[in-house]
Structure 1
Amino acid sequence: MSREFDVVVYGATGFVGELTADYLARHAPEGTRIALAGRSETKLAAVRRRLGENAAGWPLIVADSDSPASLDAMCARTRVVCTTVGPYLRYGENLVVAAATAGTDYVDLTGEVPFVRYSIDKADDTARGTGARIVHSCGFDSVPSDLGAYLLHKQISDDGAGEMTDTTMVLTSMRGGASGGTVDSVRVIADQAKDAQTRRLLLNPQALSGGAGETPRAGINSEPSDISPVDARKVDPSLRGTLAPFFMASYNTRIVRRSNALRDGAYGDAFRYQETMAVGGVPGLSAVLAGAVSVGTGLFLGAMSMRPTRKALDLILPKPGQGPTEKSREAGHFVTQTFTRTTTGRRYRSQMRAHGDPGYKATAVMLGESALALALDRDRLPERSGVLTPSVAMGDVLVDRLRAAGFVVEAHELVD
C-alpha cells in the first residue's frame, strides 16, 4: 500500500498525544515516516519543537473531528492513524469511519463500551471490505488484559493442556495517577447511561462480542461480577486474602471476550473472565479493603451521574490535557497477573510488568508500539481486518515489540 506516511499521530497537542509522539521520536526506526495532526498548526509546531531533532522534519496536518473531509484527507495519506483524541464518544465517530473507508489501520486508547459498539456497527463491514484494521484500546486499557488471556491460550494450546476455564486478571501492583482523559470518558459515559438502551449495553457482559448489528443477549450473571470482591484462593491456591474489583473491569472484560469471539470461542466452552486487584493478603483486612473498593466504585459512578456531586468532583479530578510530572511518570509501574485452570486441571499464569505510570508513560509505549506494529510489521501480522482487539490484530508481533521495549510479558504453567 503506497501512502505518504507510515503513522500519523492525531491529537499530538494533547497530553498523552505528545507523550506518544515523543516515544515515537525516540524509538521509531530510522526512516519511519511520521506526521503530527490536530486542530491547530501553531500548537502542532510547538509540540514538534519540543520533540527535538528527530522530529524536526515531521510534517504537520490540520484536521478536526468535526470536519469529516479533513479526516478523510488525513487517513488517505497514511498507513496508520494513531489517535489520542477522546472522549471517543464525543470526538471519535467520524475518524473511525474515515479510517475504515480509506483502508487505513487505526489505533486508539478508548475505554468506552458504547463507542466500540458504535465502531463495530458502523465500521466493521466497511473495514473488512477495505482491509483496514480498526484496533481499539491499545494502552493500559486493554493491552495487559487482552495479551494476558491470549498468552495463556497460546501456552495451553502449545502444551496440549486442554482449554481455559475460569480466568482472572489480578492487578497485583500499580503506581500511577488517573488520566484526565479517562475521567472525561467516565463523565461522557455517565451522561449516556441515563438512556435505558445504553444502560442495557453497559450491563451486557457480551456487549462487544458480536458483529455489526449483532449484540449478543447475555444476562448480567452469565459472567463474573465486575464489582464484587473475590476470594483470592478461588482464583489460585497461591493467593491469599480477598481481591477487590478492578475499576476498569467493566470495559476490559468486554475486550477480552471480543477476542475470544473473534477467535470463534477458541479459549474454551467453559471460559469465563473477570478482573480484580490485590489489596493485601491479610484475610480480614483485605476483605474490608476489597469491600470498601467495591462500594466506593459504585458510589463514584453514581456521583458522576448526578449534577451536584459531579460538579464537586470536577473541582478535584484531573481535567483533559492534565497529567503528572515527568518525575511522577518515571516513578510509576504496574504488574498484572492472569490466572486460569484448564479443563485438564492444570494451572497457568501469565504476567505483564512495566516501569512508568501505567496511564501515561507505559500507555505511550503500548500505543506507540501498536502503531509501529501495524505500519512496519505488516507481513508478520495475522491476516485479519475489521474492528479488532490488540491480541487479534497484532498477537505475537505486539508481544515481541513490548518485550524489546523493556516490558516483561510471559506465560507459564504453575506447579505445586
Structure 2
Amino acid sequence: MDRDFDIIVFGATGYVGRLIAAELLRSAPEGTRLALAGRDDSRLRQAAQGLGHPQLPVVVADAFDAQALSRMAARTTVVVSTVGPYVKYGMATAGACAAAGTHYVDLNGEVLFARDVIDAFDRPARSSGATLVTACGFDSVPSDLGVLVAATTAREAGAGELLGTTMHLRSFSGGMSGGTIDALRTQIDASRHGVRTPGRSSSDPYALSPDRDAEPEPRGRRNSVIWLETSRDTREFAAPFFMARYNEQVVRRSNALLGWAYGRGFRYREAQDTGKGAKGLVKALGIGAALPAFVISLATPGLRQVADRLLPAPGQGPSEESRANGHFTIEVHADTTGGQRVVATVADERDPGYEGTAVMIGEAALALAAGQGLTTGVSTPAAALGLPYAQRLRERGFTITGAVSPG
C-alpha cells in the first residue's frame, strides 16, 4: 500500500517529540518523508517553524479521536508515538497502527500499558503485518541490546547459553522531564487500582511474557537494598536501579520471543554501581532509601501535592546546557553454560533520556521504514530489530561490544 509519509512523529509539539523530530531531520536519509502530528494545527506549524523546516507536513489527530488516529495511521509507514502517559493516552494509537498495518514505536516504560497492548493488539498486528515496538528509548534499548549482544557473543565463541546475568549501570548523567514524572504518577495509580493478577501486576517479573506458565520463578536478591558484587563482576557496592523492574520484564520477554535463545536457565537482574569503599556504601544506602521515598511521595495524596510543586510539569525538561553533559555506560555480565564469562558494554556520550533516546527511537523508526523489521506483532527492540539495529546505533556513535573470558 502506498503511503503519504515514511514516518510521522505523533506528539511533535512536546518536549521529547521536538527532540525526536529534530534528530530525524538531521539523520534520516535524503528523501525520507517526515510529518509532524498532534492535536493542535497552529502549535504543529510553530514546531515545524522552530525546527527550521516550516514546509514540514502536519497531521492533526487527538489521542482520543479514533477516526483521526485511523486516518493518521493509514497515511504513514511508521508512527513514532511520544504522547504519554501511554496507559492514559496510548492505546488507541497503538490499536490504529495494528489495524492499518502501520509500524509503531514508542518510549513506553509502563508495564501495564505494555501488557494491555500485547493482549489487545499482538494478534491484529500479526494479521496486518505491523510491528509494534514499545520501549525504544533508554527504557529499554541499552538493556535489551546489551543482553542480545552478550548472548550472541557467547554463542559465537562456543560458550553456550546465558545463566545468571546482571546489568550494571556503571555511569550515568541525565535529566528527567515532566512527562517522565507524569508517566510515573499514572503508572503508580494504575498499579494501585488495576487488576492485580499474574501477567497484569506491574511487580510480576514475567508480566510481559508471551507464555507466563513456561517461565521459571526468579531467583536471587531481587529485594536487596545493597549488595557487594562478586569479584567476577565489578566488585563495587550497588543500589537498586530505578528502571530495573521494567527493563528486566522487557529483556525476559525478548528471551521468550526469540525462542529462549538466551537459554532456559537465563536469570536476569539490574543494579546501579555506586563505587568502592565507604563512599560507595553510603551512596548505595542513599539511593536505596531515596527511591522508595520518591515513589511514596507520588503515591500519597498529601505528599504528591508537595512533590508536584517541586518537580517539572509535563512539557518541561532539562536545559540544552544540562543535556550537553549527559552520558551513560552499562555492562552486562553473564555466566554461561560453557563455564566462561561474557561481558557486553553499551555506552553513549549523549543525555540518555533525551538526545540519546532520540537517536535510539529515531533509528528504530528508520529501520522499520526501510523494511528491516525481523518480526510482526507486539515485540521488543531486541526481538523486532536485532543486531542490525545495534549496528545502526554503532554508526551513530554508540559503543556496543561483547567479549568472552575464562570463568
TM-score of Structure 1 vs Structure 2, range by shorter chain? over 0.9
1:295-332: CA deviations, max 9, x gaps? 32122212211100111111111211111111211211
Native 8 Å contact 1:224 1:272 kept in 2? no
Preserved CA contact (<8 Å) 1:339 1:349 = yes
Question: 1:30 is matched by which residue type in structure 2?
Answer: E
- Per the alignment, residue 403 of structure 2 pairs with 412
1:19-58 alignment, distance < 5 Å: 19-52=19-52, 55-58=53-56
Please tell me whether the aligned partners of residues 112 and 185 of structure 1 are also in contact (alpha carbons under 8 angstroms).
yes
Partner of 2:349: 355
Match of 1:396 in 2: 387
TM normalised by structure 1 equals: 0.93
Q: 1:177 aligns with which of 149, 155, 175?
A: 175
Find the counterpart in structure 1 of residue 319 from structure 2: 325
Does the CA-based 8 Å contact 1:179-1:360 persist in structure 2? no
- In structure 1, the partner of 2:263 is 268
Query: In structure 2, what is the equivalent of residue 66 of structure 1?
Result: 64
CA distance in 1, matches of 2:387, 2:318: 32
Instruction: Give the aligned residue type for 2:271.
Output: T
1:385 has 2:376 as partner: yes
Deviations 1:116-146 (A, max 9, x none): 0000010001001111100000000000000
Q: 122-131 vs 300-309, which deviates more?
A: 300-309
Q: Give the one of 367, 387, 396 matched to 1:373.
A: 367
How far the C-alpha of 1:291 sits from its partner, in A, is 2.8
Q: Against the structure 1 CA distance between its residues 124 and 335, is the aligned structure 2 distance closer, same or farther, given a 3 Å change threshold?
A: same
The answer to whether the aligner puts 1:202 opposite 2:202 as a matched pair is yes
2-side partners of 1:50 and 1:301: how far apart? 36
Residues in 2 aligned to 1:190 and 1:344: alpha-carbon distance in whole angstroms: 41
Q: Is the Cα–Cα contact under 8 Å of residues 192 and 198 in structure 1 kept in the other structure?
A: no
Q: Read off the aligned partner of 2:205 and give its amino acid letter.
A: P
Residues 205-232 of structure 1 show CA distances to partners (whole Å, capped at 9, x for unaligned) of: 000012xxx6549797546516632322
Offset at 1:345? Answer: 1.3
SS of 1:193's partner is helix
After superposition, residues 252-263 of structure 1 pair within 5 angstroms as: 252-263=247-258
The Cα of 1:69 is off from its aligned counterpart by: 0.4
Native 8 Å contact 1:226 1:246 kept in 2: no
SS at match of 2:104: strand
Aligned equivalents of 1:320 and 1:337: distance in 2?
Answer: 32
Cα distance in structure 1, aligned partners of 2:216 and 2:289: 22
Q: Which residue of 1 aligns with 2:117?
A: 119
Q: Give the equivalent residue in structure 2 for 1:228.
A: 225
AA of the residue aligned to 1:35: A
Alpha-carbon distance in structure 2 between the residues aligned to 1:30 and 1:101: 29
Which stretch has the larger CA shift, 7-16 or 310-319?
310-319
Q: Deviations over 1:148-190 (max 9, x none)?
A: 0000111111112111011111111111112222211110011
What do residues 50-95 of structure 1 show as CA deviations (whole Å, max 9, x unaligned)? 111xx34321000000100000000001000001111001100101
Q: What's the CA shift for 1:238?
A: 4.8
C-alpha distance in 2, partners of 1:224/1:258? 20
Partner-residue secondary structure (3-state), 2:139? coil
CA contact (8 A) 2:157 2:404 kept: no
User: After the TM superposition, which segments of 4 or more aligned residues of structure 1 sit over 6 Å from their partners?
Assistant: 217-220
- Aligned-residue Cα RMSD (Å) equals 1.8
3-state SS of 1:228 partner: coil
Fraction of identical pairs, as percent: 43
For 1:109 and 1:353, locate their aligned partners in 2 and report how far apart those are by CA, in whole Å.
Answer: 19
Distance 1:219 1:154, change over 3 A: closer
Alpha carbons 2:233, 2:333 under 8 Å: kept: no
Question: How many angstroms apart in 2 are the aligned matches of 1:70 and 1:351?
Answer: 42
Rounded to whole Å, the distance in 2 between the matches of 1:66 and 1:246 is 34
Matched to 1:281, the amino acid is: K
